[in-house]
Structure 1
Amino acid sequence: MNRLFHLPLSPFSRKIRIVLGEKKVSGVDLVEERPWERRMDFLLLSPAGQVPVLQLNGTTLSDSTAIFEYLEETIPEPRLLPRDPAQRAEARRLAAWFDIKFQREVTENLLQERVNKKLMKSGYPDGARIRAGSANIKYHLDYMGWLLERRHWLAGEALTIADISAAAHLSCLDYINDVDWGRNAAVKDWYARIKSRPSFRPLLNDTVPGFTVPSHYANLDF
């Protein structure tokens, strides 16, 4: 059985779901996993206790970067890393930017405080962290806008893992209405293009009990 252990508002889970969609991998069942519950059966699959975990054709893979690299090597088309080494390095740099820097400065502050604490029943949101995340996201949106004024996609002229990583994070924050899409027209246009892709649309059907999505969330044209 092919399965993806995921959490609906985990950007790392969403990244792999988009990659699977882009590469047209079908027949993968989604299994919602709450990592903080520390299920032993799940920890045997993911010693780090993190989602996503992909079981595909008898192989079990954890860590979203490792999963992506495996899929890129075993299902090479369509390519999500450029052929040119310098462009490939740029795509990897930007993917890491979102998965490390954006995650630390924005996603952890906003998603953890507004959503995960409630799901985990682990206390009240920390206002200081929310203010920090709200301030930090402005810098990241401005940087994205700077890139997109010079390129069709974040890393160049074709969709890459950089765009997928960025969109995975922003889509989680958009679910809780924490993205100012009016800040930069280039970023809004870029997100509308990604949101309209068939690989992305299943994410727009995700629901998390206790949270109401903004009216524009699933609207492909905002």
Structure 2
Amino acid sequence: MYTVIGTVGSRTLRVLWMLEELGLDYEHVRAAPRSEDVVAFNPAGKVPVLVVDGTPITDSTAIITYLSDAHGRLTHKAGTLERARQDSVTQFLLDEFDANLWTAARHSFILPEELRLSGIKNSLRWELERSQHTLIHRMSEGEFVMGEELTVPDIILTHCLDWALMAKFPIVEHRLSEYHARMRARPAYQRAVARRDG
């Protein structure tokens, strides 16, 4: 049994979705960032946290990579060229999508008001649009980012596209809009999102 700590309206969704795709049992503790339940396992107060046999794992990408590796599904095998390509796309998404969205969030409501720079969001929006153009040339011709099977980058990309729309950062590539709709229709994604309202 795994324990996931964090709110669904955060990167915690990535972990819940991966667990649902893998069909694994887990407990979900809905706890806000920096709350006592979170700080007890992660002094930085960030979510998500996955507790495995009493040991906490932090960072959503590390968690979903661990889960896919541990269960031998939804990933390419470590040490293969396919895995190197998968990890490269994962890193691209973290650098070019997640980082821009996180910076926008910090300057919208996370940083103290006197440190926020509202104008920065224009450059971040431009960067995210440029990154979308680059990404579609790195995606496979299959249904998923890496080909015919959902893998770690799909979880990250779908969450980032969700986040972009919430932040009013447009999805400018039609192919990504179609991809996003397909991913959001997956039953496992729907079950994970339902925990937000459960």
Give the Cα–Cα distance (whole angstroms) in 2 for the partners of residues 168 and 71 of structure 1: 17
SS of the residue 2:163 aligns to? helix
Q: Is 1:197 matched with 2:186?
A: yes
8 Å CA contact retained: 1:111, 1:173 = no
> What residue identity is the alignment partner of 2:163?
C
For 2:91 and 2:147, the matched residues in 1 are separated by 16
Deviation at 1:184, TM superposition (A): 1.7
Other structure's SS at 2:43 match = coil
Normalised by the length of structure 1, the TM-score is 0.74
Report the number of matched residues. 194
- Greater displacement, 52-61 / 189-198: 52-61
Q: CA deviation at 1:187?
A: 0.8
User: How big is the alpha-carbon RMSD for the aligned residues of Structure 1 and Structure 2?
Assistant: 2.7
Q: Could you tell which deviates more after superposition, 51-60 or 167-176?
A: 51-60
- CA positional deviation for 1:111: 2.6
Of 157, 171, 187, which aligns to 2:176? Answer: 187
Q: 2:84 aligns with which of 86, 89, 96?
A: 89
TM-superposed deviation, 1:204: 6.5
Which amino acid counterpart does residue 179 of structure 2 have in structure 1?
W
Number of the residue aligned with 1:215: none
**2:22 alignment partner AA:** K
Structure 2 contact 2–25 (Cα < 8 Å) conserved: no
Q: CA deviation at 1:197?
A: 0.8
Which residue number in structure 2 is paired with residue 66 of structure 1?
A: 62
Say whether residues 1:26 and 2:20 are aligned partners: no
CA separation of 1:206/1:43 partners in 2, compared to 1, >3 Å: closer, same or farther?
Answer: closer
Counterparts of 1:70-219 in structure 2, within 5 Å, are 70-76=66-72, 79-83=73-77, 85-104=80-99, 106-114=100-108, 116-117=109-110, 122-123=112-113, 126-148=117-139, 150-180=141-171, 183-201=172-190, 202-203=192-193, 206=196
State the 1:62 CA deviation.
1.9
Q: Which runs of 5+ in 2 are unaligned?
A: none
User: TM-score w.r.t. structure 2 length?
Assistant: 0.82
CA distance in structure 2 between the partners assigned to 1:205 and 1:177 by the alignment: 24
Query: % of aligned pairs identical?
Result: 19
**2: distance between equivalents of 1:73 and 1:150?**
24
1:55 matched to 2:51 = yes
Deviation at 1:2, TM superposition (A): 4.5
C-alpha distance in 2 between matches for 1:56 and 1:149: 33
Deviation, 1:19, is 0.9
Contact 1:19 1:164 in 2 (8 A): yes
Matched residue SS, 1:199: helix
Offset of residue 68 of structure 1: 2.2
Q: Is the 8 A contact 1:9 1:172 kept in 2?
A: no
Note the C-alpha offset of 1:59: 3.9
Q: Give deviations 1:13-61, integer Å, cap 9, x for gaps.
A: 22212211111123422322223x6x4x633411343211112454432
Residue in structure 2 matched with residue 10 of structure 1 by the alignment:
10
Q: CA deviation at 1:173?
A: 2.2
Q: Partner letter of residue 141 of structure 1? A: Q
